Amino acid sequence: MPQSPDPGERTTAETSRRPRVLAVGAYERDNFGDLLFLLVTERYLTDADVVATAPFSADMTELLDREVAAYGPLLRDEPFDVVWTVGGQVGGTDLRSAFRMSAPPETYRVFQRSSAEEQARMLREAVGDVPVVSPYIPSLAQFPKNAGAISVLNSVGVSGIRGAKPSRREKLVALLRGQTFISVRDKESSDYLNELGIEHRLVPDAVHAISLLRPAERNPRSDVAIVQGSRAIFGKLGHANVAAKLVESEHLKGLRIRFLLAGAASGHDSFEDCQAIVDHARRLSPTIDIGIITDRRPYDLVDHMRQARVVIGTSLHVRIIACSYGVPRVTLSRTKPTRYARVWDPDMPFDVSLDELDSAIGRALANAERPEVLKRSQELSRLAHENLTDLADRVLTMARTQTDADRQARAELRRQVHTAMLAERARQEDVQRLERELEQARKELAAIRSSRGYRLLARGARVSRAIRRSLARAKRASRGSTADSGR
C-alpha cells in the first residue's frame, strides 16, 4: 500500500504552483497614488494570481481596466495564500473616512442625513456585511479561511494610530502585531513601530520604482510646467492668489502651465478649483498659455509629469513621480510630503509658501543640473525596487512552501494577540470603572459637605468638641482646687 504524504511536506507540483494574493488598497476611488501602488506592486508579483480588492467594491474599468471587489466577502468565502496591503496612510484612516472619500457625492449626502443606526447599516452593506477593524488592514483572525494567511503591509504609514482613541488603537496595534512583513516609508511610522517592538523595514515609497519599470529620459528643454494642488490647500491659499503667483513667476515665463489632478475623488483635487485659477490667470495675463489636463489613467498622468520642465504640487506622489524621473520639483506646504521630503528627498524645495514659489522654482531648476542630486533620486528608485523584489521573492517562496502547520501557527499567533488585546482592554475598562466610581464618590462627598444639613452638623460637632474641651478644663481645674484645700 502506498504511503500517504507527510502533511508537513509539499510535492513539486505544490511548490511550483501560483500563489493566490489578495491585494488590498484604496483603489476603489480616483487617486492616482493609490492606483499606482497596485500597478507597481503587480509588476513584482507576476508569478502569482493577484486579486485587486478594496474595502468597497467599485467599477474601475475606466482607470484600471477592471472591477475592484470588496475584500471582506472574498476573505470570508475563499482561501488566499497572501494578503498584501499595497501602501498608503493606513494607520489613521477609519471606515467612515474611507467611505466619505470613496462613495459618490449623492450617496454620502444621504449617509450624512441618516441616523446613527442607518449609517451603521450603510457601512455594513458597503463592506459586504463582514467585520472591519481597519479599512486597509484586514483583520485576518476574524476570517477562519484566512486566519493563517501570510500578511504584508508594504510602503505604509502607521503613525496615525497614535492619535486614535484608546479602544481603537488597541485593535490596530493588535493587527500590526499579527503581520508577517511590514515596510514603512516614513520615519514617524518607523519610530512608532520601534516603540511597540514590532519588526519592520524603513524604505522609500514603492512608487519610486516606477522609473525602473517604465524607463524614460528627462527632457530638460521641456516647455511644460505641471501644477497640482488639493482642494483644501487651493481653497486656503485663494484661487486669485495662486493665479497671481503663477503669472508673476519669472521662472515660469515662456512655459505652458498645465494643471493636473492627482485625485478626483472626494476630499482630493477639484476640476472646479483648477478652472477658477485658470480663469483668474487669463484675466491677469490674456496671453498666458494655461490649461487643465483631463487625463485620469495613472500611467497617462505619470507621462505628463516625467515630460515636464518642472512639477509643482501638494501631493506626495506627484513629488515621488517627479523624483523618480529626476524632474525638478517644488512642494507647497503640507505635513505629509514635508515629513517625507525631509528624510528622503531634501535636495528639492518643500514646505514652500506661496510667496516663496518663484524662488523655489529657481532652486529646483538649478539643483536638477547637479549630478549628485540626480544620483540620490536614482538611489531612491533602486532602494524601492530592491525592497519590492526581495519582499515578493520571500513572500511567494513562503507561500509555495508553507505547510498546514505554518498556517495554523500564524492563525494561533493572531488569536493570541487578539486574546491579549481583549484581556488588556478588559483590565483598562476595570480601571476606568473604578476611576469613575471614585470620582462619583468624591462628587457625592463634596455635595454632602456643601449641603446646609452638613454645615449645621459640622457646626454642632465643633460646638460639641468645644464644650467637651471646656468641661475637661473645668474638671482639671476642680481637681486642682480640691487638692489645694486638702493641704
> Widest CA span of the chain, in angstroms?
126
Question: Is there a single domain that holds both residue 363 and residue 395?
Answer: no
CA 364, chain centre distance (Å)? 29
The half-sphere exposure of 443 on its side-chain side, counting CA atoms within 13 A, is 6
Question: Is there a single domain that holds both residue 67 and residue 154?
Answer: yes
Q: Which pLDDT does position 436 carry in this prediction?
A: 80
SS3 44: coil
Looking at 66-120, which runs of residues are DSSP E strands?
67-70, 82-85, 88-89
181-205: b (≥16 Cβ within 10 Å) or e:
bbbbbbebbbebbeeeeeebebbbb
Question: Is there a single domain that holds both residue 149 and residue 197?
Answer: yes
C-alpha cell of residue 82: 497572501
The residue segments making up the domain with residue 341 are 221-368
Q: What is d(CA 165, CA 172) in angstroms, rounded to the nearest whole number?
A: 10
Q: What does the angle CA 302 – CA 304 – CA 309 come to, to the nearest 5 degrees?
A: 115
Output Rg (C-alpha) for the chain, integer angstroms: 32
Q: Tell me, yes or no, whether 251 lies in a domain.
A: yes
Burial class (CB in 10 A: 0-12, 13-18, 19+), 265: middle
Q: What does the angle CA 436 – CA 441 – CA 442 come to, to the nearest 5 degrees?
A: 95
What's phi and psi for 307, nearest 5 deg?
-95, 5
Q: Are 340 and 205 a contacting pair, CB within 8 Å?
A: yes
Q: What is d(CA 153, CA 207) in angstroms, rounded to the nearest whole number?
A: 15
Question: Is there a single domain that holds both residue 170 and residue 36?
Answer: yes
Q: Which pLDDT does position 4 carry in this prediction?
A: 37
Under DSSP, the state recorded for 155 is E
Q: Which pLDDT does position 333 carry in this prediction?
A: 98
Q: Are 140 and 178 a contacting pair, CB within 8 Å?
A: yes
Residue 254: give its domain's CATH number: 3.40.50.2000
Question: Is there a single domain that holds both residue 51 and residue 174?
Answer: yes
Closest C-alpha to 325, from 378, 382, 384, 255:
378
Question: Is there a single domain that holds both residue 123 and residue 190?
Answer: yes
Under DSSP, the state recorded for 354 is G
Q: Are 363 and 349 a contacting pair, CB within 8 Å?
A: yes
Question: Is there a single domain that holds both residue 189 and residue 131?
Answer: yes
Q: Which ranges of 145-186 does DSSP label H, i.e. alpha helix?
A: 166-177
Q: Which pLDDT does position 9 carry in this prediction?
A: 47
- Counting the structural domains of the chain, the total is 2
C-alpha cell of residue 184: 514603512
Under DSSP, the state recorded for 466 is H
Q: Which pLDDT does position 275 carry in this prediction?
A: 98
Q: How crowded is residue 143: how many other Cβ atoms within 10 Å of its Cβ?
A: 23
The dihedral sign for the CA sequence 198, 199, 204, 210: negative
Question: Is there a single domain that holds both residue 235 and residue 174?
Answer: no
Question: Is there a single domain that holds both residue 281 and residue 194?
Answer: no
Q: What is the pLDDT along the chain (487 residues), one digit of tens a residue?
A: 334 334 344 444 455 689 999 999 999 999 999 999 999 999 999 999 999 999 999 999 999 999 999 999 999 999 999 999 999 999 889 999 999 999 998 999 999 999 999 999 999 999 999 999 999 999 999 999 999 999 999 999 999 999 999 989 999 999 999 999 999 999 999 999 999 999 999 999 999 999 999 999 999 999 999 999 999 999 999 999 999 999 999 999 999 999 999 999 888 999 999 999 999 999 999 999 999 999 999 999 999 999 999 999 999 999 999 999 999 999 999 999 999 999 999 999 999 999 999 999 999 999 999 999 999 999 999 999 999 999 999 999 999 999 999 999 999 999 888 787 777 666 766 677 777 877 887 887 777 767 766 666 667 777 677 677 777 776 776 666 555 554 5
Question: Is there a single domain that holds both residue 37 and residue 119?
Answer: yes
Q: Which pLDDT does position 267 carry in this prediction?
A: 83
Q: Tell me, yes or no, whether 1 lies in a domain.
A: no
Residue 107: give its domain's CATH number: 3.40.50
Q: Which pLDDT does position 484 carry in this prediction?
A: 52
Q: Are 276 and 232 a contacting pair, CB within 8 Å?
A: no
Q: Tell me, yes or no, whether 268 lies in a domain.
A: yes
Burial class (CB in 10 A: 0-12, 13-18, 19+), 213: middle
Q: Which pLDDT does position 441 carry in this prediction?
A: 77
What's phi and psi for 286, nearest 5 deg?
-55, -20
Q: What is d(CA 458, CA 160) in angstroms, rounded to the nearest whole number?
A: 53
